[in-house]
Amino acid sequence: MAMIIERGQMICGGSLIHSRFVLTAAHCSRNYTLSVRLGDYDISHRNSDCTRDGCIPGPKDFIVTHTYTYVPYKDFHDHDLALLKLNKTVQYSAYIKPICLLVGVEARFLNRISRFNITGWGRTKSSVVSVVLQQTTLQNYPVGHCARLFGRNMSTSHICAGSASSSTCSGDSGSPLTARIVWDMKRVVQFGLVSYGRMNCQGPTVFPNLLKYGNWIENTINQVLAKASTKQKNK
């Protein structure tokens, strides 16, 4: 889980997918300098997070040096995803690890998933920002359900998910939609990221279906790293 920060304030969530890249919503990338915080849980504790089960080290901050937005993106209704390149390599630990993505898998694989998990520090009933990272379970709804609700055309490039008792809200944009699947072993895989929902934070949320964007994500990362490697060799 990644926290996207702008001018000292949390604006969105994201996910670590590579030692140099974080995935988030395209509408979270602004003209201001962004930073990314990894390994956080309770944002009121800067040096370390402690619960009754013990303590974890303090979070790590990184500067975003470049944003790569999916080219057809115009607004949050379609193709709402972006890659954030970090200024240095992330050192993985027990508390900071990349999440799995499926590349080259057909979008209909999504039909096997009935429930998702969503996490974020977004608005709750009692506060503008949740101090402690929240999570909830959402059901996988037919895309047509969201298309009717929001009055928009949608396709297999979208995911519609919701719950009668909980929902995403402002501040959750870019946060990962995940599910635990069996793929050679049990793995937590990211299938989407928060794009938009209803203004009252009730009802389903729309997510870009990452099964449709896996190749773009992989190719973009490979091209950026290859270009950086070539520049380094030519110095």
* Mean pLDDT taken over the chain: 92
User: What's this model's pTM, rounded to 2 decimal places?
Assistant: 0.93
Q: How far apart are CA 119 and CA 84, in angstroms?
A: 19
For 138-192, how does the pLDDT look when each residue is reduced to its tens digit (9 = 90+)? Answer: 999 999 999 999 999 999 999 999 999 999 999 999 999 999 998 788 999 999 9
DSSP 8-class letter at 197: -
Spell out the SS3 assignment of 108-171: HHHHHCCEEEEEECCCCCCCCCCCECEEEEEEEECHHHHHHHHCCCCCCCEEEEECCCCCCCCC
Candidates 176, 189, 48, 164; CA nearest to 122 is 176
Residue extents of the structural domains in the chain: 2-98, 107-212
Q: Fold for domain 2-98?
A: Thrombin, subunit H (2.40.10)
- Of the candidate CATH numbers 3.40.50.2300, 2.40.10.10, 1.10.10.10, 3.90.79.10, the domain formed by 107-212 belongs to 2.40.10.10
For the annotated catalytic residues, the residue numbers are 27, 80, 173
Query: Cβ distance 175 to 197 under 8 Å?
Result: no
